[in-house]
Amino acid sequence: MQLQFLGTGAGQPAKGRNVSSLVLKLLDEINEIWMFDCGEGTQRQILETSIKPRKVSKIFITHLHGDHVLGLPGFLSSRAFQSSEEQTDIDIYGPKGIRSFVLSSLKVTGSRLPYRIHFHEFDRQSLGKLMETDKFEVYAEELDHSIFCVGYRVVQKDLEGTLNAEALKAAGLPFGPLFGKVKNGQDVTLEDGTLIVAKDYISEPKKGKVVTILGDTRQTHASVRLALGANILVHESTYGKGDEKIAKSHGHSTNMQAAQVAKEASAKRLLLNHISPRFLTRDCRQLERDAAKVFENVKVVYDLDEVEV
Ligand code: ZN
């Protein structure tokens, strides 16, 4: 699975950075792409990538500020134009209000979609586990921003060990029900008395990945909980070292606070986004250097960056 950043800027589009959106590509796992936030211009950013909009099956919105949602009506409408392709439904998760925003935008603009949108609105009382499939779980918890805003924790379930069929065949086990027995962990004795020990032929289960994607927030324990042991934590860094006071008053974080969260959560990797347009490339390097003193594996991401989870 990969994360690709479509917009990494804060507040308004800038020359080098569009407003918030990123995707979690789960093509190898479930042949789907999940989007997190959809700022204005997200569909144009997608044109610069290999992402097929119809593969976007779920959209998770962190909060209703314009720089995180204004791209939705456009993206949803364009997704409808792929008429030669199969039209697949889409799920939208977000704070109460997202449904009326999307539906009224589509209605006023006379947009008709050839697929269905399933809305999953939540408020403070209905957070926690938002969804579960056989392979993934998604949790949300409230953060600390100027309006209701959440962070998401995407948990891939552990992958079962796989059966080494070639080795079993080589050991003399005939294809058939005995294979199934070994697969279920049962030892089997062959006619010639050879004992086949099941665990020798099944690989170790693989730990699922955890990706934590936060919306805008002040430094908060909720972020630490969401990011516990995460393979990747995506955290905003609207401000830099020394600006803690102003960050707090505007409902945002600094790079140092993001690094502190990553450290407390024992996350493996920290990616900083929601970068103020006043930070130039050399400033971003400084953001990284400063943050690395608290949490070493940190990087400021740029639009269109793709990161293997
Ligand atoms: Zn915001």
Q: How far apart are CA 269 and CA 291, in angstroms?
A: 12
Q: How far is the CA of 70 from the centre of ligand 1 (A)?
A: 12
Say whether both 79 and 181 belong to one domain: no
Q: Which pLDDT score, from 0 to 100, does residue 85 have?
A: 62
Say whether both 221 and 170 belong to one domain: no
Q: How far is the CA of 10 from the centre of ligand 1 (A)?
A: 8
Q: How far is the CA of 188 from the centre of ligand 1 (A)?
A: 59
Say whether both 147 and 60 belong to one domain: yes
Q: Which pLDDT score, from 0 to 100, does residue 165 have?
A: 87
Say whether both 30 and 115 belong to one domain: yes
Q: Which pLDDT score, from 0 to 100, does residue 178 have?
A: 84
Final residue in a domain of this structure, among 151, 179, 201: 201
Q: Which pLDDT score, from 0 to 100, does residue 83 have?
A: 56
For β-strands 270-273 and 298-300, DSSP reports them as: parallel
Q: What is the CATH number of the domain that holds 134?
A: 3.60.15.10
Enzyme catalytic residues: 67
Domain residue limits at 146: 2-159+206-308
Quote the distance between the C-alpha of residue 230 and its chain's center: 11
Q: How far is the CA of 252 from the centre of ligand 1 (A)?
A: 8
Encoding tokens for residue 87? 């039209």
Final residue in a domain of this structure, among 147, 174, 201: 201
18-27, 139-148, 197-206, 225-234: range with lowest mean pLDDT: 197-206
Say whether both 169 and 299 belong to one domain: no
User: What pLDDT band is residue 177 in, cutting at 50, 70 and 90?
Assistant: confident
High-pLDDT (> 70) share of the chain, %: 99
Q: Which pLDDT score, from 0 to 100, does residue 143 have?
A: 98
User: What pLDDT band is residue 173 in, cutting at 50, 70 and 90?
Assistant: confident
Say whether both 49 and 170 belong to one domain: no
Q: How far apart are CA 295 and CA 291, in angstroms?
A: 6
Contact 99, 119 (CB under 8 A): yes
Please compute the mean of the pLDDT values over residues 210-235 and round it to a whole number: 98
Q: How far is the CA of 248 from the centre of ligand 1 (A)?
A: 13
pLDDT surpassing 60 at residue 164: yes
User: What pLDDT band is residue 161 in, cutting at 50, 70 and 90?
Assistant: confident
Q: How far is the CA of 29 from the centre of ligand 1 (A)?
A: 31
The one-letter amino acid code at 110 reads: G
User: What pLDDT band is residue 22 in, cutting at 50, 70 and 90?
Assistant: very high
Please compute the mean of the pLDDT values over residues 281-308 and round it to a whole number: 96
Say whether both 64 and 6 belong to one domain: yes
Q: Which pLDDT score, from 0 to 100, does residue 180 have?
A: 85
Q: Which pLDDT score, from 0 to 100, does residue 45 have?
A: 97
Please compute the mean of the pLDDT values over residues 25-51 and round it to a whole number: 96
User: What pLDDT band is residue 81 in, cutting at 50, 70 and 90?
Assistant: confident
* Three-state DSSP string of the chain: CEEEEEECECCCCCCCCCCCEEEEEEHHHHCEEEEEEECCCHHHHHHCCCCCHHHEEEEECCCCCHHHHCCHHHHHHHHCCCCCCCCCCEEEEEECCHHHHHHHHHHHCCCCCCCCEEEEEECHHHCEEEEECCCEEEEEEECCCCCCCEEEEEEECCECCCECHHHHHHCCCCCCHHHHHHHCCCCEECCCCCEECHHHCECCCECCCEEEEECCCCCCHHHHHHHCCCCEEEEECCECCCCHHHHHHHCCCEHHHHHHHHHHCCCCCEEEECECCCCCHHHHHHHHHHHHCCCCCEEECCCCCEEEC
Say whether both 129 and 261 belong to one domain: yes
Q: Which pLDDT score, from 0 to 100, does residue 148 have?
A: 97
Encoding tokens for residue 44? 């144009």
Say whether both 292 and 194 belong to one domain: no
Q: Which of 207, 236, 223, 217 is nearest to 22 (CA)?
A: 236
**pTM higher than the cut 0.95:** no
Q: How far apart are CA 67 and CA 95, in angstroms?
A: 15
Say whether both 9 and 42 belong to one domain: yes
Say whether both 53 and 173 belong to one domain: no
Q: How far is the CA of 296 from the centre of ligand 1 (A)?
A: 27
In 10 A of CB 155, how many CB atoms? Answer: 18
Q: How far is the CA of 66 from the centre of ligand 1 (A)?
A: 8
Say whether both 21 and 143 belong to one domain: yes
Q: Which of 16, 57, 64, 56 is nearest to 39 (CA)?
A: 64
Contact 291, 216 (CB under 8 A): no
Q: How far is the CA of 301 from the centre of ligand 1 (A)?
A: 18
**Domain total in the chain:** 2
